Amino acid sequence: MASGVHCGGRLAALPCVATVVIFFSVVSMPPYAECVASQPPPPPLVLGYYGLKCPIAERIVKEVVSAAARRNPGILAGLIRMYFHDCFVRGCDASVLLKSADGQAERDHRANRSLQGFEIVEEIKSWLEAVCPMTVSCADILSFAARDSVALAGGIYYDVLSGRRDGLVSRASEVITNLPSFNSNAQQLVDAFAKKGLTAEEMVTLSGAHTIGVAHCSLLSSRLYNYNNTGGIKPSTVDPSMDPRYAEYLKTKCPQPQGNGMVPDTAVFLEGRTPAQLDNKYYQDLMNKRGMLRSDQTLQESPATAPLVAAYAGKNELWAREFAKAMVRLGNVEVLTGKSGEIRSRSPKHLLGAVAIAHTQPQYALSIHTLIYGTHKTSIALKKA
């Protein structure tokens, strides 16, 4: 399949003639090593990468994300989660957005089937391709969208370095080997983040994103019914690391699985007091044994991570400051720059997508006034109906 597709397009062929993709297996030919050795180091990400290439790029992302949040505040958690899932598999290269004809791309894996926000990224890409064709990568769109989601949900601001390129490969099989499990213990989480160049402290800090959004009953029912305690001595109805009163509350949301083992796919807020706000209540819940997922509560139980959990539980400003720093670090994981990867675009039939959006969603419309480079101005305004 040729390159030059929209953010969620089909998998594209790799551009290097010395590398062949056969049924998602990469085979490197002998000349490839010499080719790589002669290549200069890839350029780093920079602040303001699109300042001259597409000055309104970040403004467009912010306006579309803001409008989407007004329609559905839960989309902010969805975009942040999508960013995590993308960066942990093949780095921050937007490979989570790619589709495959045989259903074997990252987004097809069961861990990603509940991801939300694909349509928001496509909407942003429609606008950007209408004004700055083949310029802004989907990987950078995801980074900007996550940044703006964090700002809207928690009033936490940070600068995003940009210049990422889009990946050409997306394999469902790589999801399970890279994404941490909801049943991971603290050491397993530390190891998973270390593989991405992130510290144990950054792991604890970024886990605070679980203060917004939802989890499905299928991820927590094993903690509520017929749980085998960690000592392996005797079965326990409820995970002993969970506050019994909290467990009883969760049982009202997640009934016991039926005889066929089917678990209702009900969504439950990860943190119930301020479920749409990024704050430190996640850590306060962990201190009270109210972490919903096993991979959350383990942070408070482990001697290596418990002190930082306690520190964040006591001071929201401390966590917010460190969370901003950690998000910047996350955005540097295994990025493609320079001539690596590609810049995905929309095919001609999609270039009018922005116009279609304005008509199908009359509550708002982005109005692009001018796009003339050089001595003229590029501007964008939010036009409310």
- Which are the catalytic amino acids? 85
DSSP 99: B
Residue (of 185, 184, 207) closest to 304 by Cα position: 185
CB 327, CB 80: distance < 8 Å: no
Cα(65)–Cα(61) distance, rounded to whole angstroms? 6
In DSSP terms, 365 is beta-bridged to 383
Q: How far is C-alpha 141 from the geometric centre of its chain's CA atoms?
A: 11
Strands (E), 267-363: 267-269
Place of tokens 């749980």: 227
> Bridge partners of 236?
227
Structure tokens at 65: 């994300």
On whether the CB atoms of residues 342 and 12 are closer than 8 A, the answer is yes
Token digits of residue 41: 């180091």
The Cα angle at residue 294 between residues 253 and 321, in degrees rounded to 5: 100
- 360 DSSP assignment: H
- Cβ distance 160 to 143 under 8 Å? yes
